[in-house]
Amino acid sequence: MKSKILVTGAAGFIGFHLVSKLLSVGKYEIIGLDNLNAYYDVNLKFRRLEEHGIDAKHLNENKIIASLKFDNYKFIKSDIANNEFIVNLFIDEKFDYVINLAAQAGVRYSIENPRAYTHSNIDGFLNILEGCRISNVKHLLFASTSSVYGLNSKLPFSEKHPAQHPISLYSATKKANELMAHTYSHLFKLPTTGMRFFTVYGPWGRPDMALFLLADAIVEGKIFRVFNNGEMTRDFTYVDDIVEAVSRLIPKPPQYDEDWTGIEPTGESSSAPFKVFNIGNGEPVQLMDCIKVMEECLGLKSNLVFTEMQAGDVPATTADISLLEDYIDFRPKTKVKEGVEKFIEWYKSFFIVD
């Protein structure tokens, strides 16, 4: 019998790619869930769903529909903050594994719309934890973010480093998710794994992310604002590497760490069945270098305006991925040039009609 997996945020960028990966494996029965909110163009979310055989424009709230392409995939339009529905879904479906990717994303958006983040990232995540608790889920994996490192300036960022100084509400809610998950792991022996994603990019990406905005600006001949006067470094991580890591983590729930001690606690493991992992490329790239690759791929020049650092942002991120590599024998490997070329190939096919 196939194991049953719930993927929340299934119409989102990473969720879409993860569902594609799990469908290709063929050994899971998958239910995707997404509220299809209008944070960015919902038509892109509809197109992602259609790639998986879901009739996206005829969805009914809280109703499961079957894929027209895959006999092991179903989808529900629902909100993880809907407590009654989510709890009953867990009771009825008896999931083996849960991957929670549903969240209100975006660092800067959180400054102007704080309640959207507590709604999805706090209330919604609590419902996921409760559902996992009452239905004895074998392993909950959930999206965290490199933003939890906040004001940390020691690079590369390591899971062993404290992450106590967030600089946006988005990152604060993600750190709260880690703390909430650890509590459930400790109290209810629920195996949980937090995944700190680093600057994910690739085909079918979010239109609010930097590389997508840059491609739009170059093609349309518009100004692109480069923050911190171009002195920005990011650990760009190609989406296929992200979902490969996630898929390898699914059947490896955390165990109790008998060597862990409260006298000298570290953040990467626990006496509870809980872990956090950085999932990044481990090779930071200057934003200006990435812009040059984008220009080469499009055959166009960008119109850049250099400005000061934006609120809630940091100048550099780099992931120490040694713990992840040791745990699942995998190291993200897609170079930025290769990843940007694949992104632009998709971008042209999706948005540019010859």
Q: Please indicate whether residue 73 is annotated as part of the active site.
A: no
Do the strands 274-279 and 192-197 form a parallel or antiparallel pair, or are they unpaired?
parallel
pLDDT of residue 56: 87
**Cα-to-chain-centroid distance, residue 100:** 9
H or E element at residue 97: strand 97-100
pLDDT of residue 111: 82
H or E element at residue 65: strand 64-66
**Of the candidates 118, 71, 18, 96, the residue with the CA atom closest to the CA atom of residue 253:** 96
Homologous superfamily, domain 3-198+239-280+318-333: NAD(P)-binding Rossmann-like Domain (3.40.50.720)
pLDDT of residue 354: 52
Contact 214, 252 (CB under 8 A): no
pLDDT of residue 203: 97
What's the CA gap between 283 and 318, in Å, rounded? 7
Whole-model pTM: value is 0.95
- DSSP secondary structure letters along 262-312: SSS--SS--SSSEEEEEES-S--EEHHHHHHHHHHHHT---EEEE-PPPTT
Q: What is the pLDDT of residues 249-308, one digit of tens each?
A: 999 999 998 888 888 887 778 999 999 999 999 988 999 999 999 999 999 999 999 988
**What are the strands, taking DSSP E only, across 189-243?**
192-197, 200-201, 223-226, 233-234, 237-238
Structural domain boundaries in the chain: 3-198+239-280+318-333
Contact 112, 127 (CB under 8 A): no
Task: Give yes or no for a cis peptide into 156 (omega within 30° of 0).
Answer: yes
Residue ranges of the chain with pLDDT lower than 50? none
Active-site position among 170, 184, 201, 238: 170
**Of the candidates 247, 269, 242, the residue with the CA atom closest to the CA atom of residue 258:** 269
Tokens linked to 49: 């769903």
